[in-house]
Structure 1
Amino acid sequence: MGNREDLLVSAKRCLSEKGYGRTTARDIASGAGVSLAAIGYHYGSKDALLVQALIEAMGEWGRSIGAALAGTADVADPKERFVRCWDAVRDSFEAHRGLWTVQFEIVGQLSHLPELREQLAGAQKLGRLGLAAMFQGKTEHEDTPEELARGIFYQSLLLGQAAHWLIDPAQAPDGAEILLGLTLVSGAMLDRAQA
């Protein structure tokens, strides 16, 4: 690997171990075995490098969970598939704890980081469409209002489940609990619509 790649690997490790706010440029450069000037040369700034590291770490999580969800493609019953998918997501948090911790840390700082907010907002639609495709077992995403709505729903569940898990993994909802809640809420709405 070259200096650029070494910096990215070090930045991902620092994000996972120290978080966004406590990671210094010196931490990253030292971990990569390069000079501080290499960060500016390759990425422009520490923040730009950390954003790139976060995006890459999210991509790695996405590929990991995508593979786990692909393992549920042969489940014929949609409810059982839903439960297995959400169990796989919950199980993924342990291996990617640092990634989820840093995401919640960053959300709390976005009002002070307008460039980061802009970058994340720009990537949000693509992320939502990707989630919609993943949870439906599709390899490609479609950019339609329906798929975007599915993605928003899945993203909201995902962030909620991650928050529960970070607070107390033993109380994080599993797939069956999420399905029960969805069934109860949607049933109540359908009952009211028919009344």
Structure 2
Amino acid sequence: MGNRESLLEGAKQCLLEKGYDRTTVRDIATAAGVSMAAIGYHYGSREALLQEALFKALEDWDAGLQAQLSRLDEPKGPKRFAAVWRLLHEHVEQNRTMWMASFELFMQAQRSPELAALYAQGQPGATAAMAALATGEIEETIDAETIRTVGAVQLALVSGVVMQWMSYPGDAPGPDEIAAGLRGLVAVLDA
């Protein structure tokens, strides 16, 4: 593995251990076993390296989550909904640092126009994945309107619930409460 790849792996390790804001150039260089100057040579800046490492780590993490979701054998309906949310909850518990990193990425994007543009490029894929998660359909077969509506709402729901699970895990809603809350919202809309 060359210095560039070592830096990327070292940066991913530091992101998981320390988070985006607390990771220093020295931390990355030490984890990678290279000089601090190698960061500038290969990536231009700490921020550029951390952003690339974060996107790569999130891609790997998402692929793992998608693989777990693809193995769910529940048919569409309330049982699948509950199974998906149980799996998501387990995933948050097992991958807490990556979920935190995904929220850190969002926060960093609010301060960096370049990162915001990269973050925005990933949103269509995120909403399509969330539409597939919500409907149980294969992502490539979902129409644009479902992605824009169901996918966007599912993304907002997952983001918000995950924040609750991470902030106050003992009082955050579980699959049954989430389903009941959605039914309550539908009742309000249908009134």
**TM-score band, normalised by shorter chain:** 0.7 to 0.9
Which whole-Å CA distance do the structure 2 matches of 1:171 and 1:185 have between them?
A: 20
Partner of 2:189: 189
The Cα of 1:58 is off from its aligned counterpart by 1.6
Write the mapping of 1:4-153 to structure 2, written as runs, cut at 5 A.
4-72=4-72, 74-135=73-134, 136-138=136-138, 140=140, 142=142, 144-153=144-153
Which whole-Å CA distance do the structure 2 matches of 1:110 and 1:147 have between them?
A: 23
Amino acid aligned to 1:56: K
Amino acid aligned to 1:171: D
Alpha-carbon RMSD across the aligned residues, in angstroms, is 2.0
Which whole-Å CA distance do the structure 1 matches of 2:99 and 2:79 have between them?
A: 26
Q: Secondary structure at the match of 1:140?
A: helix
Deviations 1:84-127 (A, max 9, x none): 10111111112221122233334344443222222112211222
Which whole-Å CA distance do the structure 2 matches of 1:34 and 1:175 have between them?
A: 46
The Cα of 1:134 is off from its aligned counterpart by 4.0
- Where relative contact order (Cα < 8 A, 6+ residues apart) is larger, the structure is 1
Which whole-Å CA distance do the structure 1 matches of 2:139 and 2:186 have between them?
A: 28
Q: Is the 8 A contact 1:131 1:154 kept in 2?
A: yes
Q: Is the 8 A contact 2:109 2:119 kept in 1?
A: no
Q: Secondary structure at the match of 1:171?
A: coil
Q: Is the 8 A contact 2:106 2:119 kept in 1?
A: no
Please, which runs of 5 or more residues in structure 1 have no aligned partner?
Answer: none
The Cα of 1:139 is off from its aligned counterpart by 5.4
Q: Secondary structure at the match of 2:173?
A: coil
- The percent of aligned pairs where both chains have the same amino acid is 39
The Cα of 1:141 is off from its aligned counterpart by 6.0
Aligned residues: 190
Please, which runs of 5 or more residues in structure 2 have no aligned partner?
Answer: none
Deviations 1:137-157 (A, max 9, x none): 525365613223222112111
* CA 106–62 in structure 1, closer or farther in 2 if over 3 Å, else same: closer
The Cα of 1:23 is off from its aligned counterpart by 0.9
Which whole-Å CA distance do the structure 2 matches of 1:22 and 1:86 have between them?
A: 31
Q: So what's the TM-score if we normalise by structure 2?
A: 0.88
* CA 64–172 in structure 1, closer or farther in 2 if over 3 Å, else same: farther
Q: Is the 8 A contact 1:3 1:38 kept in 2?
A: yes
* CA 116–59 in structure 1, closer or farther in 2 if over 3 Å, else same: same
Q: So what's the TM-score if we normalise by structure 1?
A: 0.86
The Cα of 1:77 is off from its aligned counterpart by 4.8
Structure 1 window deviating more from structure 2 (19-28 vs 59-68): it is 59-68
Which whole-Å CA distance do the structure 2 matches of 1:145 and 1:139 have between them?
A: 13
Amino acid aligned to 1:54: L
Q: Is the 8 A contact 1:90 1:161 kept in 2?
A: no
Q: Secondary structure at the match of 2:170?
A: helix
